Structure 1
Amino acid sequence: MYGAEWCGDCRRSKALLDRLDVDYDYVDLEEEFDGAERAKAISGRTQIPVVVFPDGTHVVEPTDAELAAKLDELAEAPAA
């Protein structure tokens, strides 16, 4: 997940991941030198958060419902 502490949507998405006990890497755009460029390269946009999933997909500024639905989808997917 790419985000920043000043971003309300980032704090909300991060809190959901924490509540659901999801393991994730957090790239703080304020701390990582090239974090913003990496997030933009993935999404093609400058909005955050950018949440990247193990299946290679990503979402930008997801609602809690959208993020939870994607996590459910991944949990139900058969292992490759």
Structure 2
Amino acid sequence: MLGCGVLLSAVLFVDRSPVVGVAVLVIFGALAVRLSPLIFPRPTTAAEAQALSANDGRAIIYWRPGCRYCLRLRSRLGREARRAYWVDIWRDPAGAAAVRAVTGGDETVPTVALGGESFVNPDPEWLRQQLARTASPS
């Protein structure tokens, strides 16, 4: 996304107007940041997340890159997002299978596993409160 923005803005900068070129670069840069999987905490495998969650009770959030609902959840959780285990279902077939088992065969994300229950596309504020409760004091 950022590469396309750089190329397009360079062409606009040279051919048309430097202001338009810069504006296009800013827009593409913002989109690249917004859609980047890098804004998510380090993904883990479903097996690792399930084992860790069994020990500390933290939530497991199943997600996939480009999902606007996952991005919405991640952005609204803020710093609390690091208190959960994130499983990218496109990288982990076991994670995708776990989501399909909960959703009746679909890969609907975000799906959150917490306390033996699963929630599809939960309210971000509710999840933030749950994450704050399950945070282990260090």
TM-score (norm 2): 0.43
More helix by percentage: 2
Instruction: Tell me which of 99, 105, 108 is aligned to 1:39.
Output: 99
Q: Give the deviation of 1:75 after TM superposition.
A: 2.0
| Structure 1 residue 44, shift from structure 2 partner | 2.9
Task: Give structure 1 stretches of 5+ with no counterpart.
Answer: none
Q: Could you say which residue in structure 1 is the equivalent of 2:112?
A: 51
> Conserved in 2, the CA contact under 8 Å of 1:3 and 1:26?
yes
Deviation at 1:21, TM superposition (A): 5.2
Q: Which amino acid aligns with 1:36?
A: A
The structure that has the greater radius of gyration is 2
> Shift of the alpha carbon at 1:39?
1.0
Is 1:43–1:58's contact at 8 Å kept on the other side of the alignment? no
Instruction: Identify which of structures 1 and 2 has the higher relative contact order when contacts are C-alpha pairs closer than 8 Å and 6+ apart.
Output: 1
Work out whether residues 112 and 119 of structure 2, in 8 Å CA contact, stay in contact via their aligned partners in 1: yes
What is the letter of the counterpart of residue 59 of structure 1?
A: F
Distance in structure 2 (CA, Å) of the matches to 1:36 and 1:19: 25
Equivalent pairs: percent with the same residue?
25
Q: 1:68 and 2:68 equivalent? A: no
Change beyond 3 A, Cα 1:45–1:61:
farther
Given residue 113 of structure 2, which amino acid in structure 1 is its aligned partner?
V
- Stretches of structure 2 that go unaligned for 5 or more consecutive residues are 1-60
Q: Tell me by how many angstroms 1:23 deviates.
A: 1.5
